[in-house]
Structure 1
Amino acid sequence: MKSDVLLKTDLPLKPFMRGKVRDIYDLGNELLMIATDRISAFDSVLPNGIPYKGKVLTGLSVFWFNFTRDIIENHLITANVDEFPDEIREYSGILEGRSMIVKKAERIDIECVVRGYISGSAWKEYREKGGVCEISLPKGLKESQKLPEPIFTPAIKSKTGHDINISEEKMADLIGNELTERLKRISLQIYEKAFDKANRNGIIIADSKFEFGISNGKPILIDELLTPDSSRFWSLEDYSPGRTQKSFDKQFVRNYLEKIKWNKEPPAPMLPDEIVKRTSQRYLEAYRRITGRDIIK
């Protein structure tokens, strides 16, 4: 399984940026986004990767980008390496299944989060304040309970890279009322359409994060979409409020790191082989359930 792990690329192309998971190259008017098998938790990249993770992230993003085109345009041009420019097609052995060519866009530096269930940082904030992002919620909610309706809880990145929940009013102060309302409406539409699709296939999308950019004067979806890295995917058949849920995302890794009481400061610890294997299985299962296809042929 280790031979299937790609932790880093070093192509002879103009670098654009290297994120926690993706290596991005500048192709002029477009970008080449490569999803590696790196995994991050608590704002640190772990030393070992997760087999097939990059292919799951790319495959699911492509699936959802196509599924939501009726709601909003996105930055995907192609994920088919046969359609890539000649100068990069020679690297198809690396790129196949884990890369996309996308439009350039001016990133909107706000994460648009939609929550249908109370979990994670929202659960913590709810217990402390009785609401999330200045949205009042009913009293007596249990951990992982379904909310009366999905809520929009935007966030920004702090200088240290941590997500900070903000109110809609704060978001409007940053980018204006009109764009705030538009992104909120679009985010809720995407979540609700994707939720119904995943639910029919045995997965609850508890929450998800959407990122937008401006292209030709209008907002488009960018980055990744509805993946186990940007969403909480729970097992519908095992769902029971009042506890942590069985998940098909990197929460499994977070739970392990909490259990070993890592101080969440770099360097991050190595993951045991069993945790790596089971995390990979969760990502692959999420892909299979949602798309009806298998990554491993």
Structure 2
Amino acid sequence: MELVHQGKVRDVYADGGDLILVASDRVSVYDVVLPTPIPGKGALLTALSLWWFEQLADIVPNHIVSAEDVPAEFAGRAVRVKRLDMVKVEAVVRGYLTGSGLAEYEKRGSVCGIDLPAGLVDGSKLPEPIYTPTSKADVGDHDLPMTFAETEDALGADLATRVRDITMSVYRRGSEIALEKGIIIADTKLEFGIDAEGTLRLADEVLTSDSSRFWDAAAWKPGQTQPSFDKQFVRDWAKSTGWKPDDAEAPEIPQAIVDATLARYIEAYELLTGRSWS
């Protein structure tokens, strides 16, 4: 097989008319890949995405061809997928205010051109979920926020609208399912592509601990750092070291942080799917 693309976390190989999408154990924070892997993370992301693709199949078709017909060395963390012309926008939706959205709100009172009520704090639930897309950066570069008008300019009005509307529907469905399991999906990002027949498909991963913020619903309280089941734990650790994304070298992750991160990913998988991870 030919390696045709290496992303922050996933490697893509050409295999006949299909692609093999392999989820590695790499972890990225602030668009930087850290030097220490999280063993087993790729398999967890793959399994959780496959579960979500099933829950969302009536909303949007996806890119999966097979989860079994993959090279043996990648079994469990790879899927065979359709070749897609990827949409050049990261589709981000926020139901709660935190992270880069909070930082933008504190400066401007808005996020991606959407005005928000005064007085919101870290962890506040928004009156309605908002669509806050970003540019799709290469490895080593940073995604940049976009207004919806900018996505219309980049994609055309029809495609931009379809991506936005499907993203909102996926978030609403996912949030309802997760909340029943005790997890708040604070925000998430999705990727889409168009197949050879012109069908818009959900691609990459969906509603995982890498692509979403998963909070403990029972412990949620605005104005504080929320207990989470996602890679925010690694982001917070990296920030605590004094490291900055523009530094020449990223820090190695201590084993205790690796173990605690993996435990959070496993807990999210088990809570959402009702399945045991072993």
TM-score (norm 2): 0.96
Distance 1:223 1:200 in 2: 25
**Letter paired with 1:261:** G
Which position in structure 2 is the counterpart of 1:128?
107
* 1:246, distance to aligned residue in structure 2 (A): 1.0
* 1:56, distance to aligned residue in structure 2 (A): 1.0
* 1:20, distance to aligned residue in structure 2 (A): 1.5
- 1:1-297 to 2 correspondences below 5 Å: 13-80=1-68, 83-84=69-70, 88=71, 92=72, 94-158=73-137, 161-215=141-195, 216-264=197-245, 265-296=247-278
Task: Give yes or no for contact 1:154–1:165 (8 Å, CA) kept in 2.
Answer: yes
Distance 1:191 1:27 in 2: 32
Distance 2:191 2:136 in 1: 12
Task: Give yes or no for contact 1:36–1:98 (8 Å, CA) kept in 2.
Answer: yes
Task: Give yes or no for contact 1:55–1:295 (8 Å, CA) kept in 2.
Answer: no
How many residue pairs match? The answer is: 275
Task: Give yes or no for contact 1:208–1:226 (8 Å, CA) kept in 2.
Answer: yes
Task: Give yes or no for contact 2:31–2:143 (8 Å, CA) kept in 1.
Answer: no
Distance 1:158 1:43 in 2: 9
| TM-align CA RMSD | 1.2
Distance 2:259 2:137 in 1: 32
* 1:294, distance to aligned residue in structure 2 (A): 2.1
Task: Give yes or no for contact 2:151–2:160 (8 Å, CA) kept in 1.
Answer: yes
Distance 2:185 2:86 in 1: 25
Task: Give yes or no for contact 1:50–1:276 (8 Å, CA) kept in 2.
Answer: yes
Distance 2:238 2:14 in 1: 35
**Letter paired with 2:240:** K
Distance 1:43 1:173 in 2: 25
Could you give the per-residue CA deviations for residues 152-172 of structure 1, whole angstroms, max 9, x where no partner exists?
111103575211111111111
* 1:208, distance to aligned residue in structure 2 (A): 0.5
Could you give the per-residue CA deviations for residues 62-120 of structure 1, whole angstroms, max 9, x where no partner exists?
0111111101111011112xx44xxx3xxx2x322211000000001101111000011
Equivalent pairs: percent with the same residue? Answer: 44
* 1:293, distance to aligned residue in structure 2 (A): 1.0
* 1:269, distance to aligned residue in structure 2 (A): 1.0
The 3-state SS of whatever aligns with 1:58 is: helix
The 3-state SS of whatever aligns with 2:162 is: helix
**Letter paired with 1:66:** E
The 3-state SS of whatever aligns with 1:57 is: helix
Which structure 1 segments of 5+ residues have no match?
A: 1-12
The 3-state SS of whatever aligns with 1:23 is: strand
**Letter paired with 1:100:** V
Distance 1:170 1:22 in 2: 27
Distance 1:135 1:35 in 2: 34
The 3-state SS of whatever aligns with 1:26 is: strand
Distance 2:188 2:116 in 1: 19
Distance 2:88 2:248 in 1: 25
Distance 1:62 1:72 in 2: 14
Task: Give yes or no for contact 1:44–1:266 (8 Å, CA) kept in 2.
Answer: no
Task: Give yes or no for contact 1:52–1:284 (8 Å, CA) kept in 2.
Answer: no
Task: Kindly report structure 1 stretches of 4+ aligned residues shifted beyond 4 Å.
Answer: none
* 1:43, distance to aligned residue in structure 2 (A): 2.1
Distance 2:115 2:208 in 1: 28
